[in-house]
Chains A and B, each alone.
Chain A
Amino acid sequence: MAFGDADASTPAFVKANGAGKDATTASFTPPNGALLIAFAWHDTAGGNLTNTSQITDSLGLTWSRKATRSKQDDGTGAANGHAAISTATATGAAMTVTTTGTNTGNPAGLYVRVIASADTVTPMDVTPVEGTTNAAVVSTSIVTATDGARCFLMVIDWNVAAAMTAGTGQTAVISDAIGAPDDRIYLGVTNAVTSPAGSTTLSTGSPSSGNTQNWIGIAVRPSGGGSDATATPSTVAATATVPAPTVSTGSSVTPTAVAATAAVPTPTFSSSVAVAPGAVVVAATVPTPAVSTGSTAAPGGAVVAVATVPTPSVSVAGNASVSLPVVALTATVPALAVSTGSTAALGGAVAATAAVPTPTFTSSVAVTTGTVAATAAVPAPTVSTGSTVVFGGAVAALAAVPTPTVSTGSDGGLVGEAHGPLPLAVGAITVHTVSIAGAVT
Chain B
Amino acid sequence: MAKDVAQVKGEPDPSPWTTRFADHRGSAIVLSVRFNEATRAILNANVTRDADCVYTTLLIGVGPTGPDSTPTQLTIEAGPSSIGRGQFVEWGFDKIEDLQAVQITAGR
Binds B, one of A19-27, A118-126, A277-285, A417-425: A19-27
Q: Which of B1-45 contact A (CB under 8 A)?
A: 1-13, 19-24, 29
Q: For the complex formed, measure the closest distance between the CB of A11 and the CB atoms of chain B, giving whole angstroms.
A: 8
**A349 contacts B by Cβ under 8 Å:** no
Contact A26 B106, CB 8 Å, known A7-B24, A8-B24 = yes
Q: Give the number of residue pairs across the A-B interface with Cβ within 8 Å.
A: 114
The residue that A18 contacts in the complex, of B29, B55, B100, B107, with Cβ under 8 A, is: B100
Complex Cα spacing A20 to B61, Å: 11
The answer on a CB contact under 8 Å between B67 and A96 is yes
The answer on a CB contact under 8 Å between A14 and B1 is no
Taking CB atoms, residues of chain A closer than 8 Å to B54 are 8
The answer on a CB contact under 8 Å between B4 and A162 is yes
Q: Which of A1-35 contact B (CB under 8 A)?
A: 5-8, 10-20, 23-28
Taking CB atoms, residues of chain A closer than 8 Å to B23 are 6, 8, 10, 12
Complex Cα spacing A370 to B108, Å: 54
Complex Cα spacing A376 to B68, Å: 74
Taking CB atoms, residues of chain B closer than 8 Å to A294 are none
The answer on a CB contact under 8 Å between A180 and B13 is yes
The answer on a CB contact under 8 Å between A210 and B6 is yes
**A159 contacts B by Cβ under 8 Å:** yes
Secondary structure call for the A interface: loop
The answer on a CB contact under 8 Å between A181 and B24 is no
Flag B39-77 by CB within 8 Å of A: 1 or 0 each. Answer: 000000000000000110001001000111000000000
The answer on a CB contact under 8 Å between A25 and B67 is yes
Complex Cα spacing A176 to B12, Å: 15
Taking CB atoms, residues of chain A closer than 8 Å to B97 are 18, 180
**A175 contacts B by Cβ under 8 Å:** yes
The answer on a CB contact under 8 Å between B2 and A184 is yes
Complex Cα spacing A70 to B33, Å: 32
**A182 contacts B by Cβ under 8 Å:** yes
The answer on a CB contact under 8 Å between A23 and B103 is yes
Q: For the complex formed, measure the closest distance between the CB of B4 and the CB atoms of chain A, giving whole angstroms.
A: 5
Complex Cα spacing A271 to B54, Å: 29
Chain B residue nearest to A9 in the complex (CB): B24
Flag B80-100 by CB within 8 Å of A: 1 or 0 each. Answer: 000000000000000001001
Query: Which one of B55, B67, B97 has the greatest number of beta carbons of chain A within 10 Å?
Result: B67
The answer on a CB contact under 8 Å between A160 and B104 is no
Chain A residue nearest to B53 in the complex (CB): A12
**A161 contacts B by Cβ under 8 Å:** yes
The residue that B24 contacts in the complex, of A10, A27, A162, with Cβ under 8 A, is: A10
Residues of B with Cβ closer than 8 Å to A?
1-13, 19-24, 29, 54-55, 59, 62, 66-68, 97, 100-108
Give the 6 A-B residue pairs with the shortest CB-CB distance, closest first. A16-B103, A18-B101, A14-B105, A6-B24, A26-B107, A177-B2
Sampled A-B contacts (21; CB under 8 Å): A6-B24, A14-B103, A14-B105, A15-B105, A18-B100, A18-B101, A18-B102, A26-B67, A26-B105, A27-B107, A28-B108, A159-B6, A162-B2, A162-B3, A162-B5, A163-B4, A173-B22, A177-B3, A179-B10, A180-B100, A181-B7
Known contacts A12-B106, A18-B100, then 8 further A-B pairs from the complex at CB < 8 Å, ordered by chain A residue: A7-B24, A14-B67, A16-B103, A96-B67, A162-B3, A163-B3, A177-B2, A180-B100
